Amino acid sequence: MRAHDHRDLLFQLWEVAGLESRLAGTDLDRAAVEGILDTADRIAAEHFLPHGRLVDEAEPRFEGGRAVLPDVVKAAVDAHAGAGFIAAGFDPAHGGMGLPETVHMAASFIFAAANVSLSGYAMLTVGAGRLIQSFGSAEQKRRYLEPMAAGRVFGTMCLSEPQAGSSLSDITTRAEPMADGRYAIRGRKMWISGGDHELSENIVHMVLAKIPGGPPGVKGISLFIVPKLREDGARNDVTLAGLNHKMGYRGTTNCALNFGEAGGSIGELLGEAHKGLSYMFQMMNEARIGVGTGATALGQAGYQASLAYARERPQGRAPGAKDPAAPQVPIIDHADVRRLLLAQKAAVEPALALALHCASLVDRQRQGDAPAGVLLDLLTPIAKSWPSEFCLEANKHAIQVLGGAGYTRDYPVERYYRDNRLNPIHEGTHGIQGLDLLGRKVLIDGGAGVRALMAAIRADIDAAGVTPLAAPLEATLVRLERVTAHLAAQVAKDPERGLANATLYLDFFGHLVMGWMWLRSCAAATRVAARDGDSDFLRGKHQAARYFMTRELSRTEGWAEILMQNDPSAFEMDTRWF
């Protein structure tokens, strides 16, 4: 039993992302990678997929200051870590497996599709551990990183506070220097995923706090390692103040944490003082891509579930069929059901292609390819936001395919929809991704990143030759360039006005990128058909791309018009007029 399409994942890895060419110089070959993914597939099927309903219905309980989860959660994270899937995210120098990020991402996708909220602990642990890997001292790596890579200790990111959700410049958590060079941490953190549980021996919190006397705002933020338990096993005065009761995503605890209420929370500075936010961006960026991958995995799980249902459920007959005694047809025979399925496929598959493309940019960046890093930075808000919006929409369609059944908890699709609704919110809301893209990423180095990306897309369009997608994609690209130049000039003149429609710009940019992913997928399908012969699977790629082009890419025409006039309707709405 699977929640993802393994055949598509392999096609995307080998044929679209071209992973094989990047295995040269590693000790991996195709068979080894597929073996790793088979292991992920097996553990996901055994420990993740069967517990979706249970971890949703038995949400974490706050008991005696502890967060209590069903036992199956511990068994699942142990099986996952035990098979090396946390180590897979780290350097061999620190107990990691040194796996290409592309392979790590593919495995993460399998687990997220099987049970997204159980896969959250590993994502946070890898992100937190990599902060120590990048910025920690040798001693910190020994003490914290190695047990994290071994899966014995989990990590978190502690940014938000009750009065400062998205506005990190307003955090008030303090870090007072102590005589021994460590810091006394005091403050309240909010929305901490994995903030408490008893799944691991210890929890290492990566905490943003301000050292008194530092610069105001974000320039005065430093980053601290604050473990739940000290080295001697004693509590470090990090207390669970409460659990958030969420609409979905319930296998991951979400906590309010108090640091140092009794004056005894001790932290260690990571790297240099006052550079905490810039360090934390490494984890935030990884988490953003992780969120997008999770959203994609949920989209795919819903697509697979609704596809299976549509093939089996008989209901009704073709419009115009007159004989009520004829047997009912499976609902996939109805055009509108195929539309609901195709819309899901058209959203989920390019979103996975982008996640793997981002992972391959990480791999190239690690090998010293600086331009890959520029593209990765630019694509990160897209990789986070597009699946969060459009694979959520896909989950809405999955429910619709099942009808009333889809609205009940007897089927997983309503849960996927609830789980996925988190993704446009956490790790920077959809709106904040828009500000990041148009207010920052697009402007850096005079637009060098956008130019590089457009050149990459153009190169793929040229290589594809005459295909149904090439011309509309080229037209979309030209439209985006025009809109970008227009809005960038406005942002320079008047940021508030210029950024008023940044969210729509984000969606527009995302549609172009997804169109590009479809172009690459179709080019791969054409190559494979020429090599191995055509197949239903390959034909489906072309047809879904056609759907995306007709129904989605076409929307960018209207969006461009709205953006070229920088629609003032919301900007000029006086707050008293509501």
Site for its own copies in 466-495 (CB under 8 A): 494-495
Q: Which of residues 265-324 bind its own copies (CB under 8 A)?
A: 307, 311, 314-320, 324
Q: Among 342, 204, 359, 246, which Cα is nearest to 292's?
A: 359
Q: Quote the least distance from Cβ 512 to its own copies, whole Å.
A: 16
Q: Quote the least distance from Cβ 526 to its own copies, whole Å.
A: 15
Q: How far is 344 from 341, CA to CA, in rounded Å?
A: 5
Q: Does 174 bind its own copies (CB under 8 A)?
A: no
Instruction: Judge contact between 45 and 73, C-beta under 8 A.
Output: no
Q: Does 58 bind its own copies (CB under 8 A)?
A: no
Instruction: Judge contact between 334 and 316, C-beta under 8 A.
Output: yes
Q: What are phi and psi of 571, to 5 degrees?
A: -60, -40
Q: Which residue has tokens 């120590």?
A: 132
DSSP 179: T
Q: What angle do CA 91, 93, 94 make, to 5 degrees?
A: 75
Residue tagged active-site, from 427, 496, 552, 572: 427
Task: Name the residue nearer to its own copies (CB basis): 139 or 536.
Answer: 536
- Of the candidate residues 10, 54, 164, 475, the single one contacting its own copies (CB under 8 A): 164
- Of the candidate residues 434, 449, 510, 515, the single one contacting its own copies (CB under 8 A): 434
Q: Is 569 helix (H, G, I), strand (E, B) or coil?
A: coil
- Of the candidate residues 191, 259, 390, 509, the single one contacting its own copies (CB under 8 A): 191
Q: Does 546 bind its own copies (CB under 8 A)?
A: yes
- Of the candidate residues 54, 241, 425, 452, the single one contacting its own copies (CB under 8 A): 425
Q: Does 160 bind its own copies (CB under 8 A)?
A: yes
Residue 550: CB atoms within 10 Å: 12
**Binding-site size, its own copies (CB under 8 A):** 100
Q: Quote the least distance from Cβ 170 to its own copies, whole Å.
A: 6
Active site residue 427: yes
Task: Kindly state the tokens that stand for 327.
Answer: 């047997």
What distance lies between CA 276 and its chain's CA centroid? 22
- Of the candidate residues 39, 275, 407, 447, the single one contacting its own copies (CB under 8 A): 407
Task: Kindly state the tokens that stand for 162.
Answer: 């009750």
Q: Which of residues 72-101 bind its own copies (CB under 8 A)?
A: none
Taking contact as CB under 8 A, which single stretch among the options 121-129, 225-233, 338-346, 516-524 is the one that binds its own copies?
338-346
- Of the candidate residues 13, 499, 514, 524, the single one contacting its own copies (CB under 8 A): 499
Q: Among 38, 49, 37, which Cα is nearest to 115's?
A: 49
Q: Which residue has tokens 């056609």?
A: 546
Q: Quote the least distance from Cβ 381 to its own copies, whole Å.
A: 14
DSSP 329: P
Task: Name the residue nearer to its own copies (CB basis): 417 or 516.
Answer: 417
Taking contact as CB under 8 A, which single stretch among the options 31-39, 167-175, 378-386, 521-529 is the one that binds its own copies?
167-175
Q: Which of residues 345-384 bind its own copies (CB under 8 A)?
A: 345
Q: Is 235 helix (H, G, I), strand (E, B) or coil?
A: strand
Q: How far is 554 from 511, CA to CA, in rounded Å?
A: 9
Beta-ladder partners of 158: 207
Which residues are catalytic, by number?
427
